[in-house]
Amino acid sequence: MKKIIFLLLISFCFSAGILAQNGNGKHKIAVFAPLYLDSAFDSMENYRYEKNQFPAFINPGLEFYEGVQLALDSLKKEGIRLEVFVYDTKSSVETVAEQLERPEMSDVELIIAHCSGSDVRIFAEAGLRKNIPVINPNFPSDAGIKDNPFFVMLNSTLKTQCEGIYRYVQKNYATNPIVVYRRKGQAEDMIKKIFDDYGKSTMSVPLKLKYVDLPDSFTVTQLKAQLDSNRHTLCIAGSLNDNFGKRLSLQLASIRKQYPVTVMGMPTWDAIKDFTKPEYKDLEIIYSTPFYNAKTDKVSTSITNYFNTVMYARPSDMVFRGYEVTWKYAKLLGQYGKDLSSNLGNKQHKVFTDFDIQPSLGNPNMTLDYFENKKLYFLKWQSGIIKSVN
């Protein structure tokens, strides 16, 4: 089934675009995603891999596109008139910059760009140059973007995440001993700086954070030295390294009965599936994420059923992300048209996530650099089950 979708994508991405509905008066949207079509097929459109082999690096972009297409199908049923162009950011024929200068891009009103790295700035600059909104649903970094009121980040930056963690801890664990376990590294130093800077500016009582540097091969004995068997300690993993986080959690889980602890993780922990394993069962693990979908609503159930019966697969989170972003911003485009850029923070047309789009202000002049989703969900793993604890 994935191969069939890929074959369909070839005709979509190398023709003028996808027409959600024919006729005049349509709003025009451009969708960019890393589809890797040239890596998957040769010049004769023959699949390069074995029949049942599907390379993992292709999945995120394709799954995002699957969600986009499902949203377009739903919008078409509602009579929403759209003309949608889909581009492969990993094309070997055209660069992203060249795709953005295609003739059909001259009157596009909205760009949805699943991208990362250097492409972020290319898209942001294109939106500013063309005066049209660019929605980035996946990359949690601003790439140094400044003075750009057309760029929207839905995946919150590390600064936003760490500040949100700080506030959550202030609210729920301010009277507990708090230990921040770290490893050496630039990202770790950045996390510490964000915590410390926020502690200096907070209107509430600053947290008393104890930072403890650990070697890569740290032992449970080194963790015990910072814990009190008579008090509940919050242990914050002050590193984005998943292996560090898993090792820290596993060792704390092994002493959970002697030392009452809760572990606060980083947003990267959203991708860690090990926490379902029995060895983590007795440990309370909390982490933040800007995206949460319990998948119990009508739309989620419909998407899941479609994948089960048609695709013989389970939809990934990126499928829901593609659906949500396309639905919400296509509806806003239809509602506000050319005035969409003044309504980027509009909370209408929610699908799964409560986005809180706020201006990110640059120092020292407090000028608008871009818009960012400031909404964070806090999720808790316990006994192999995950739930929201907001």
Q: Which amino acid is at 302?
A: S
**CA–CA separation, 334 and 340 (whole Å):** 9
Confidence of residue 2 (pLDDT cuts 50, 70, 90): very low
Question: What digits encode the pLDDT tens for the residues 278-303?
Answer: 999 889 999 999 999 999 999 999 99
Q: What are phi and psi of 95, to 5 degrees?
A: -80, 165
Q: Which two tokens stand for residue 345?
A: 């923070």
Higher pLDDT, 336 or 313: 336
Say what the pTM is: 0.90
Q: What is the mean pLDDT of residues 8-32?
A: 59
**CA–CA separation, 65 and 326 (whole Å):** 10
pLDDT score of 14 more than 80: no
What are the residues facing 84 on neighbouring strands? 18, 29
pLDDT score of 362 more than 90: no
Does domain 158-289 fall under CATH 3.30.465.10? My reply is: no
Report, in angstroms and rounded to the nearest whole number, the Rg of the chain calculated over CA atoms.
23
Question: What digits encode the pLDDT tens for the residues 327-355?
Answer: 999 999 999 999 999 999 999 999 999 99
Whether 70 contacts 303, CB under 8 Å:
yes
pLDDT score recorded for residue 229 = 96
Instruction: Place domain 2-156+295-375 in its CATH homologous superfamily.
Output: Response regulator (3.40.50.2300)
Please state the domain extents for the chain.
2-156+295-375, 158-289
Question: What digits encode the pLDDT tens for the residues 162-213?
Answer: 999 999 999 999 999 999 999 999 999 999 999 999 999 999 999 999 999 9
Q: What is the mean pLDDT of residues 227-253?
A: 97
Beta-carbon contacts of 344 under 8 Å, excluding residues fewer than 6 positions away, are 133, 152, 357, 371
pLDDT score of 17 more than 50: no
What are the residues facing 386 on neighbouring strands? 381
- Mean pLDDT value across the chain: 90
Nearest by Cα to 153 from 363, 355, 384, 379: 355
